[in-house]
Structure 1
Amino acid sequence: MEKKKIKVAILSMASLLMISMTASAILADIQRYFDGVNPSLIQMVLTLPALVGLVFAFASGPLSLRLPKKSLVIFALTSGLIGGIIALVFGSANIYILLFCSMLIGIAQGINSTMSMALIADYFVGAESSALMGLQSAFVNGGSMVLLFTSGMLAGIQWQWSYLVYFIFIPVIVIVMKNLPKDNPVAEVSEKHLEVGAKLNSRVYLTALVMFLFGIFLFVFQTNVALYVASRGFGDASISGIINTVMSGAGMLTGIFFGQIQRILKKMIIPVALIVAGMGMLIIFTVGNLPSLFVAAICCGFGLASVTPAGTFLAANSVNPSISSLAIAIVTAATNLGIFVSPILSNAVANANGGDIAIKFMMGSLGLFGAGVLAWIGNMLLDKKNQISHS
């Protein structure tokens, strides 16, 4: 019964992990509203949570050794709720108010992206842990699907109204307070033990690098789909919201069947998922019509829901259990850093090619293909190295 309660708490947290992506459907509206503001500054409404999340995702690993994970989670959820409320009430007054709100939302995103996975690693093992990480990914995408669709519909009335969805933090805070145990921090683990018996290894660093590239190139889709829809005259924020909803729906289905997919693809799950997502980006560049955006959304949803749990599971199981939270934090932080870098790099590439937004999707495609090859070759070399060392 205790484990069921913990699952409910973890999955309720997971359902809000992509809530910052609700801004992707309203970027074009925000840009029109704040006329004359640099487009890169507008895109930071979406990407700043990733940068702040990077800091807090990394910090939450060491902090969880000294503070109860439950306290960290409640603090994070409260920060997200406050950020959403301020954006709803005061966000239209100044772009910097919106950016401040994005920072608060980033605190929630960073801490809970690490803690939701760390709690799974703490309370569940083996196949049960892997299956729950897949289910966590399903809830991330299922929650995202509902949130993106709802916020997109609300934005069709007035873009500020999209922040009404942040009130969903209130019942989640109640669920976490009721169901998540107040664990004792692992402060008694000695520095000597951490140094000798629990070191980070090459597998964690390779996974972090792959996740960094994944963050850069996959999130070209989220940061540019609304602008692409508007620039091609395909529709308004409601259409962008539906496209993002389709991506989340594909991710939710992938997460539900993640255990079976992982059993079939085994160690190839990350390379295959990256290449599928890259194919989606390529379809946008080569075809470029509205249906191609929906096909790409499905491909990117599969990639997102496969790579995130697979990378986290790989990192957590590559180290001593006493520092699995730290390994998860590093991988999560690397992903968030990639998300933040994504619009900076894609805008630079687009500006170098006459401002054509379609070139960003070509960049995303090539980057994801490259990351897939790196993941395949890198893990194959590490496997061979381990076989030699154990022979």
Structure 2
Amino acid sequence: MKIKTGRGTIGIMVLFAIYSISMVTSLPGLAISPILGDLETVFQKASNLHLQMLESLPSFIIVPFILIAGRLSLRLNKKKLLIAGLIIFFICSIIYPFVHRLNLLLVVSAFLGIGAGMVIPFSTGLIADYFTGARRTRQLGIASAINNLTLVLATLLSGFLAGINWHYSFLVYCFSGISLFFAFFLDNTPPYVQSTSLPSASDSHSGFKWPIKLMLLYYFITFLALTVPFNLSLYMQNLHIGNAEKSGTLISIFFLAVTLPGFDINRVISWFKGYTNVISLAAISLGLVLFAFKSGILLLTLGVILIGLGYGIMQPIIYDKTANGVPTADATYALSLVMVMNYISIITYPFILSWLSLDSAYFPFILCMILGAAFTVFAFFRLNSKTLGMKQIQENNNVK
């Protein structure tokens, strides 16, 4: 079976390989979440900082290695880089269940971050290498959906395995073995990618420009969306809206809402056309408004759905615009610059709120509601001014 790419065709196994990479990009740190309470009992002498590092350390390590892998992809064989990262990831997933000392768990977590950082740029970079046009947009949407859907399923599986034995929770990382198997079916060199020189941020002759605006946009919308998973549980507890089970259900609904638009992102774009980003930002802002007014459980459910849908629409569109803005050979590097903003946002979010002295679970929703609404208005008027400008140019050309 052959899959059309807009440039030619690829085999179904190559497509499965690309999809499988998206399965593992959100896994690092995931296995720790359901077992933090158990680890406090297992490692009674450990400080809270050491326990929290098990969850956050992979993200800190991932950031530099995403950039390193993206940059190396400009000169080295992408398939070999990907396989090397997956091997490190998979070896860590096998070692984890047999480790009983906290310090060794931290060491394994660091290596897991290295492996994940080497893999993540290729989850979108390979799509940019193989696909073009509307087919690339569609595949980026599907990859984003697979990423988020795996996050939901793996969270449930991790919690189930933790109920048997806390060591088994780490087995969710073994999904990387599936990715490693399919990675060998990739072409050694994608047929449509030509070699290029290594660019730098200040190298005007290379033709490569850092996608600064898209990087900042991705950081911003991720910051807004993180308000739900970071604060929802405490928000509901403080307002006596529901228990931990209900907040967990709402967070799962949020990630499912993020997942859905990716499966048919081209249809979504055809509905909203040039206003897609503005409408998505408005959905995120409206969802935050429902939290700001301390709504009941039904309106909060609608709120997390709106925030999830808005973020789920913008994510693949940002990836697509990034890939469109650079030559094919530079796409993986450009996408790595954009994707790293997701992890930087995750790392900096709690520090920014702490710096603003927003210890309450309620005020982050107020803050992000104001930021989201202001940026939505700005994006709307900026889009309209561009549209009017284009119409004026066309009218002047017609007069001439």
Band the TM-score falls in, shorter-chain normalisation: 0.7 to 0.9
**Deviations, residues 351-379 of structure 1 (Å, cap 9, x unaligned):** x25x3222233333334444545555667
**2:369 alignment partner in structure 1:** 365
Distance in 1, matches of 2:369 and 2:163, equals 30
**2:65 alignment partner in structure 1:** 56
**Deviations, residues 255-282 of structure 1 (Å, cap 9, x unaligned):** 1121111222234323332332333344
- In structure 2, relative to structure 1, the CA distance for the partners of 1:226 and 1:154 (3 Å cut) is farther
Cα deviation for residue 384 of structure 1 reads 8.4
Cα deviation for residue 285 of structure 1 reads 4.1
Do the aligned partners of 1:31 and 1:39 also contact (CA within 8 Å) in 2?
Answer: no
Cα deviation for residue 130 of structure 1 reads 0.7
Q: Considering only aligned residues, what root-mean-square deviation do their CA atoms show, in Å?
A: 3.8
- In structure 2, relative to structure 1, the CA distance for the partners of 1:80 and 1:380 (3 Å cut) is farther
Aligned match for 2:187, one of 168, 172, 181: 181
Do the aligned partners of 1:43 and 1:343 also contact (CA within 8 Å) in 2?
Answer: no
In the alignment, structure 2 segments of 5+ residues that lack a partner are: 3-9
1:255 counterpart = 2:262: yes
Do the aligned partners of 1:25 and 1:240 also contact (CA within 8 Å) in 2?
Answer: no
**Deviations, residues 159-214 of structure 1 (Å, cap 9, x unaligned):** 5543221122212211222x21222797953469984362316xx21111111222
Which range moves more in the overlay, 180-189 or 7-16? 180-189
**2:156 alignment partner in structure 1:** 149
* Identical amino acids, percent of aligned pairs: 22
Do the aligned partners of 1:217 and 1:364 also contact (CA within 8 Å) in 2?
Answer: yes
SS at the partner of 1:65? coil
SS at the partner of 2:70? helix
**Deviations, residues 222-258 of structure 1 (Å, cap 9, x unaligned):** 334455567669445x656544432232223211121
1:312 counterpart = 2:316: no
Do the aligned partners of 2:23 and 2:175 also contact (CA within 8 Å) in 1?
Answer: no
- In structure 2, relative to structure 1, the CA distance for the partners of 1:8 and 1:375 (3 Å cut) is farther
- In structure 2, relative to structure 1, the CA distance for the partners of 1:99 and 1:60 (3 Å cut) is same
More helix by share: 1
Cα deviation for residue 14 of structure 1 reads 0.9
Distance in 2, matches of 1:149 and 1:326, equals 33
Amino acid in structure 2 at the alignment position of 1:364: C
Cα deviation for residue 309 of structure 1 reads 0.9
TM-score when normalising by structure 1? 0.81
**Deviations, residues 84-141 of structure 1 (Å, cap 9, x unaligned):** 4454443x743x5555444334334433332121111111111111111111112112
1:9 counterpart = 2:20: no
Do the aligned partners of 1:14 and 1:140 also contact (CA within 8 Å) in 2?
Answer: yes
**1:20 alignment partner in structure 2:** 28
**2:282 alignment partner in structure 1:** 275
Which range moves more in the overlay, 151-160 or 331-340? 151-160
Cα deviation for residue 66 of structure 1 reads 1.9
Do the aligned partners of 2:29 and 2:59 also contact (CA within 8 Å) in 1?
Answer: no
Distance in 2, matches of 1:51 and 1:326, equals 19
- In structure 2, relative to structure 1, the CA distance for the partners of 1:9 and 1:377 (3 Å cut) is farther
Do the aligned partners of 1:82 and 1:104 also contact (CA within 8 Å) in 2?
Answer: no
Rg (Cα) greater in structure:
2
How many pairs are equivalent? Answer: 382
- In structure 2, relative to structure 1, the CA distance for the partners of 1:20 and 1:192 (3 Å cut) is closer
Amino acid in structure 1 at the alignment position of 2:366: M
Distance in 2, matches of 1:22 and 1:141, equals 12
SS at the partner of 2:226? helix
- In structure 2, relative to structure 1, the CA distance for the partners of 1:72 and 1:241 (3 Å cut) is farther
- In structure 2, relative to structure 1, the CA distance for the partners of 1:9 and 1:345 (3 Å cut) is same
**1:74 alignment partner in structure 2:** 83
Cα deviation for residue 20 of structure 1 reads 3.2
TM-score when normalising by structure 2? 0.79
- In structure 2, relative to structure 1, the CA distance for the partners of 1:148 and 1:251 (3 Å cut) is same
Matches within 5 A, 1:1-391: 1=2, 2-20=10-28, 22=30, 25-26=33-34, 29=37, 33=41, 45-90=54-99, 93-94=101-102, 97=104, 99-156=106-163, 160-177=167-184, 179-183=185-189, 188-190=195-197, 195-196=204-205, 198-200=207-209, 204-226=211-233, 234-236=242-244, 241-287=248-294, 291=298, 294-349=301-356, 352-353=357-358, 355-373=359-377
Distance in 1, matches of 2:327 and 2:388, equals 21
SS at the partner of 1:330? helix
Distance in 2, matches of 1:292 and 1:326, equals 41
Distance in 2, matches of 1:63 and 1:386, equals 40
- In structure 2, relative to structure 1, the CA distance for the partners of 1:40 and 1:377 (3 Å cut) is farther
- In structure 2, relative to structure 1, the CA distance for the partners of 1:300 and 1:74 (3 Å cut) is farther
Do the aligned partners of 1:22 and 1:148 also contact (CA within 8 Å) in 2?
Answer: yes
**2:6 alignment partner in structure 1:** none
SS at the partner of 1:20? coil
Do the aligned partners of 1:144 and 1:245 also contact (CA within 8 Å) in 2?
Answer: no
- In structure 2, relative to structure 1, the CA distance for the partners of 1:120 and 1:375 (3 Å cut) is farther
Cα deviation for residue 41 of structure 1 reads 6.5
- In structure 2, relative to structure 1, the CA distance for the partners of 1:343 and 1:252 (3 Å cut) is same
Distance in 2, matches of 1:371 and 1:152, equals 37
- In structure 2, relative to structure 1, the CA distance for the partners of 1:31 and 1:381 (3 Å cut) is farther
Do the aligned partners of 2:236 and 2:247 also contact (CA within 8 Å) in 1?
Answer: yes
Cα deviation for residue 337 of structure 1 reads 1.4
- In structure 2, relative to structure 1, the CA distance for the partners of 1:157 and 1:129 (3 Å cut) is same
Do the aligned partners of 1:270 and 1:311 also contact (CA within 8 Å) in 2?
Answer: no
- In structure 2, relative to structure 1, the CA distance for the partners of 1:357 and 1:152 (3 Å cut) is same
Do the aligned partners of 1:23 and 1:45 also contact (CA within 8 Å) in 2?
Answer: no
